[in-house]
Amino acid sequence: MSLFAKKPMSVLIAEAADSEKGLKRTLTAGSLVALGIGAIIGAGLFVRTASAAAQNAGPSVTLGFLVAAIGCALAGLCYAELSSSIPIAGSAYTYSYATMGELVAWIIGWDLVLEYAVGAATVGIAWSEYLNNLLINVLHWKPIPYEWCHSPFEKLFDPQTNAVIATGMINLPALFIVSLLSLLLIRGTQESAVVNGLIVITKVAIVILIIVIGWGFINPVNHDTYIPQASTYVDPHGISHSFGGFWGIIGAAGVVFFAFIGFDAVSTAAQEAKNPKRDMPIGILGSLAICTILYVLFAHVLTGVATTEDFRTTGKEASVAFAINKYMLGYGWLGKLVTVAILAGFSSVILVMLLGQSRVFYSMSKDGLLPRVFSEVHPKFKTPYKANLIILVLVGVFAAFVPGDVVGDMTSIGTLFAFSLVCVGVIILRKTNPELPRQFKTPFVPVVPLLGVAACVLMMLGLGWTNWLRLFGWLAIGFLIYFGYSRKNSKLNKGGL
C-alpha cells in the first residue's frame, strides 16, 4: 500500500452518521464558541502578553497579536471549510488523511500530541504556580511546600548564599487538576461544556473589567515609542531575543501565538456537534474573533499601565496582578480577581486540550494507527473513557515530574506546523473532491490558504532554530512508531475501511 493512500471520502461521511455506538451529539454552536473561548483565553492572555512585551516588542505586542490573529484567521477559514465538509472527530489528522494520505495524517496526529497533551501538562504546571499565588495573596494562607508543587529537577536557592534550600519531589497540584478534569471529561462532554461555559463567563467578565477600568490608568508616556528600535534583549537565562523592529513584532507573534491555541480544538468535537455543518464554522471563527478583540484591547491597556521594564523585572509571570497593584491604586480587589480568573482560565484550557487529545487518539485508533483501546466508548457516558484514562496517566506524569519550562515554545511550533498542512489540505480537497458538499467555503482559494501557510511559517521562523530541532526530533520518534506498529495495523492497509 502507498504511504500516501487516502481515506475514502465516502467512509468519512458514513462515520459522521449517528449510531448507537458513536459519540453523543450534544454540542450547539453556542457551546462550541464557549469551548473555543475557554481554550483560547488562559495562559496566553495573562502570561504570554507580558512575556512578549518584555522579550520582543514592548508596546507593539499588540501588533504581534494582530499578526498571530491574521495567521490564525487564515487557518481558521480553512479549518471551518474542512470541519463543515468532514464533520468527524480528529481535527487536522482527519483532514490530512482525506486529502494528503496516511503518512501525512500520522505526522499530523503525532504532531498534535505537542499541542494537546504536552500543552495540557504545561498549563497544569502553570495552574499549580498560580494556586500558590492564590493561597498567599488572596486567601493569606501558607503556600504549598516547595517539595510538593515542583518536579524533582527543580531546586530552590537562597538568594543570599545561593545554597539549595529545597528540592522538588512531585507537583501534586498539577497532577490534581489534570486528574479532576480528565474524570469530568469521562463523565460526559455536555457536562464538561456546562462547567466550561460558567468558567468562560467569569473570566471574560474579569478581562472586560480590566480593559474598562485600566483604560483610565494608561500612561501615554509608555506608548510614546510604540515600536522600539531593533536591538537584542538577553533574558535572565542568557537567551537572546530580537527586540523591537520587524523581527521583534514577528517574534512576539510567535510567542503570543500560544494565546490563540484552542480555536482549532473546537474542530475535534465535530462528531459531537448537533449540526456540524452550520455549528463548526460559527464555533471556530466566532471564538477566534471574540478573543482577538479582547487580546488587542487587553495588551494595549497592560502595556499602557505598566512599563516594559516592569515586565522584565518585578512583574514577570504575575505581571497583570502586579500592574494593577502598583499603578491602579484602589483596585486591589481586581488584582485578586485576576488571580482567580487565571486559575479558572487555566482550568478551561486544560479541559479543552484533554478533550482534543482524546478525540484525536479516538480517530487514529478507529483507523488502526493506534491500539483499539483508544476508541472504546463508555456504554453509558458515550465518551472514549479508556483513552481519557491513558492520557490522564501520560499527561499526569509529565505535569507531576517535568519542569514547565522544558517544553517552551515547542507547543506553538507543533501547532503552526499542523495549521500549515490544514491550509494545504483545503487546496488539495478542492481539486480532488470538487463535488463534495460544503456548508462553508474558504474564500479566494488558493490565495487565502497559501497566505495562511506563509503566515504560519513566518511565525515558526520567529521561534528560532532550537525549536525546529526539537520538532524534527519529535517527528523522528513518531516515524519509529508508525513504521513499527501503525503501518502494518492500518485498516486502510488491510482493506478494512
Instruction: Give the separation between CA 270 and CA 25, rounded to whole angstroms.
Output: 9
Residues comprising the chain, all counted? 497
- For residue 196, pLDDT over 70 is answered with no
Check residue 231 and report its DSSP letter. E
Of 14-23, 133-142, 306-315, which gets the smallest average pLDDT? 14-23
Instruction: Give the separation between CA 175 and CA 173, rounded to whole angstroms.
Output: 5
Using omega within 30 degrees of 0 as the cis cutoff, is the peptide bond preceding 220 cis? no
Tally of CA atoms within 13 A in the half-sphere of 288 that contains its CB = 30
**What is the arithmetic mean of pLDDT over 138-148?**
90
Residue found by looking up cell 463535488 in the block: 435
Confidence (pLDDT) at 245: 92
Q: Which three cell numbers stand for residue 306?
A: 505598566
Q: For 446-470, write each residue's pLDDT tens digit.
A: 999 999 999 999 999 887 777 888 8
- For residue 35, pLDDT over 60 is answered with yes
Residue among 134, 135, 174 at smallest CA distance from 321: 134
Work out whether the CA dihedral 390, 396, 402, 408 comes out positive or negative: positive
Q: Which three cell numbers stand for residue 38?
A: 475557554
Instruction: Give the separation between CA 53 and CA 58, rounded to whole angstroms.
Output: 4
3-state secondary structure of 34: helix
Q: Where are the beta strands (DSSP E) in 204-348?
A: 231-234, 240-243
Residue found by looking up cell 505535569 in the block: 399
Angle between helices 29-40 and 276-305 (to 10 degrees): 30
**Which neighbouring-strand residues pair with 270?**
none
- For residue 382, pLDDT over 70 is answered with yes
Q: By CB neighbour count within 10 A (0-12 exposed, 13-18 middle, 19+ buried), where does 243 fall?
A: buried
- For residue 299, pLDDT over 70 is answered with yes
The one-letter amino acid code at 170 reads: I
Residues 6+ apart with CB under 8 A from 64: 52, 56, 57, 249, 250, 251, 252, 253, 255, 256
- For residue 315, pLDDT over 80 is answered with no
Of 53-67, 190-204, 287-301, which gets the smallest average pLDDT? 190-204
Q: Which three cell numbers stand for residue 433?
A: 473532491
- For residue 19, pLDDT over 50 is answered with no
Name which residue leads in pLDDT, 302 or 24: 302
At the topology level, CATH places domain 9-492 in Amino acid/polyamine transporter I (1.20.1740)
Where residue 41 falls among pLDDT bands split at 50, 70, 90? confident
Confidence (pLDDT) at 408: 58
DSSP 139-188: S--PPPPGGGBS-TT-EEE-TTT--EEEE---BHHHHHHHHHHHHHHHH-
Q: For 176-186, write each residue's pLDDT tens digit.
A: 999 999 988 88
| Torsion angle in degrees (nearest 10) through CA of 11, 16, 17, 19 | 100
Where residue 268 falls among pLDDT bands split at 50, 70, 90? low
Q: Where are the beta strands (DSSP E) in 269-335?
A: none
Of 122-126, 161-165, 414-418, 484-488, which gets the smallest average pLDDT? 161-165
3-state secondary structure of 409: coil
Confidence (pLDDT) at 286: 86
Rg (CA), the chain: 22
What Cα–Cα distance (Å) separates residue 367 from each residue in 6, 211, 222, 277, 394?
12, 47, 54, 23, 22
Check residue 53 and report its DSSP letter. I
Residue found by looking up cell 502570561 in the block: 47
Q: For 277-287, write each residue's pLDDT tens digit.
A: 778 778 888 88
Angle between helices 9-16 and 92-99 (to 10 degrees): 150
Confidence (pLDDT) at 171: 94
Instruction: Give the separation between CA 144 and CA 135, rounded to whole angstroms.
Output: 8
The per-residue pLDDT of the chain, averaged, comes to: 83
3-state secondary structure of 79: helix
- For residue 18, pLDDT over 70 is answered with no
Residue found by looking up cell 507580558 in the block: 50
Residue among 45, 32, 29, 28 at smallest CA distance from 261: 45
